[in-house]
Structure 1
Amino acid sequence: MHNVKTDEILGSRRFSNYWWATIICLGGLGFFLVGLSSYSHIEFLPFTQSTDLVFIPQGMAMTFYGTIAILIGIFLWLTILWNVGAGYNEFNRDRGVITIFRFGFPGKNRILKFQYQINDIKAIRVNIQEGLTPKREIYLKMKDTREIPLTRIGQPLLLSEVEEQATSLAKFLNVILEGIE
C-alpha cells in the first residue's frame, strides 16, 4: 500500500461556512421580520419597536435586504449539505494514475473525476504569494503546459506545510519540484 497516496480534501463543511451561514440567516430573518412588522403593524420581534417604521421606504428596504440575506443563507446551507468541493487526490504508482475527485453542485456534473497518467507529469509547482491575500498553492505541472491545482480552498496553509507536502509529493511521484528557492 506504499504505492498509493491519498490526500483528503475538505469541502464546504468548514467551521467558517457554518458560522457565516448561521449569521447571515439569522440577520436576514431579523431584517425580514422588521420589514414585515412595519408593513402589518404587528410586532414580530418582541424586543424592538419596528411597527413605528414607515413601510415605504425603510420597511420595504429591510424586507428586501432580509429576503436577499435569507436566500444567500439558504445557498450556503445547501453547499454545506451537498459538501461542494470535498473529495480526494489519489496518486497510484501501481496503476500509474493520478485521480482528482471532487463533489460539485447537483446536476449532471455532480461528481468531478479527472484521471491523469503519472508519465504526463513534468513537475510539482509551488506558488507562494505573500500580502493581504496570501496564496500558497501546489500544482501538478503537466508536460502539455497545463497546471492542475491540488491544494484545498480556505485558510492558507503554513509555508512549512506547503513545502513539506510539495516535497513529499515530488519524491513520491519522482518528479522535480519548482517554485521553492
Structure 2
Amino acid sequence: MPLFSSASRPVSSSPTLASDPSQTLLETRVIGSRRLSNVLVASMVSIGGIGFLLASLSSYLGRDLLPVGQPSHLIWIPQGLVMGLYSIAAALLATYLWSVIAIDVGSGTNRFDRSAGLLTVRRRGFRQWIEVEVALPDVLAVKVEVRDGFNPRRRVSLRIRGRRDLPLTRVGEPLPIADLERDGAQLARFLSVPLEGL
C-alpha cells in the first residue's frame, strides 16, 4: 500500500503534488500491525498451541483427542509434559500477537503542515499514543533506504538537523521499490528538500 493514502483535507496523490503552491497540508496514514500476515501468524500459533495441548492431554488421559497420529501412545513424562509446556508457550505468544493486532500497534499518521511549519508524527503504542513534532525548516532531506540481504530494510525517512533520522514508513513488510521511490520523490517535492539514497 502506498505511503500516501489519505488526508484530512483533499490532497492529490499525483506526482505533481508540490507544484501546487496553494497545497499546504499533507497527511499520510501508516499501516500498523493489523495486517493479513500478522493475522495468519497469530492463527497458526494458536492452532499449533491447541494441537500441543490436545497431544499432552491425550498422553495424560491415554485417549486420542487429536484426529491425526496417536498421541495417547506418548509417555506422559517427559513427552506429554513437554507437549504441555509447548502449549503454554504457544498460548502466551498467541495472546501477545492477538493483543498487538487488536491494539494495532504502529499505526498512525504523518502530518506535514507547511502553513504552520510543523511535522507531526503520531504512532499508536501499547498503552498510549506516541507523538513527535519537528519544525519543517529542520528537515534537511528525504532519504530512501534500500538494503537487501539477511535483514532487509526499505524505508523513507527524514534527515533532521541535530537529530537522528526519523523513519516515516511502516514497520514489517518491506514496500516495493517503485512505491518507495515514488513516495520519497513526492514528499521531497512537497517539502522542497533534496532526495537522498537513489
TM-score, with length taken from structure 2: 0.84
The correspondence for 1:165, drawn from 183, 187, 190, is 183
Q: How many Å separate the matches in 1 of 2:163 and 2:93?
A: 38
What is the 5 A alignment of 1:10-159? 10-106=31-127, 110-159=128-177
Gaps of 5+ in 1: none
How many pairs are equivalent?
Answer: 177
> Which fold has the larger relative contact order, with Cα–Cα distance below 8 Å and residues 6 or more apart in sequence?
2
The structural deviation recorded for 1:47 is 4.4
Can you list the C-alpha shifts for 1:6-32, whole angstroms capped at 9, x where unaligned? 111111110001101011001111101
3-state SS in 1 of match to 2:133: strand
Counterpart of 1:75, as a letter, is Y
C-alpha RMSD over aligned residues: 1.4
TM-score, with length taken from structure 1: 0.91
Quick check: 27-36 or 128-137, which moved more? 128-137
Q: Which runs of 4+ in 1 moved over 6 A?
A: none
Q: How many Å separate the matches in 2 of 1:146 and 1:50?
A: 54
Counterpart of 2:112, as a letter, is F
3-state SS in 2 of match to 1:85: coil
- 1:177 is aligned to 2:198: no
The structural deviation recorded for 1:155 is 2.0
Q: How many Å separate the matches in 1 of 2:175 and 2:64?
A: 48
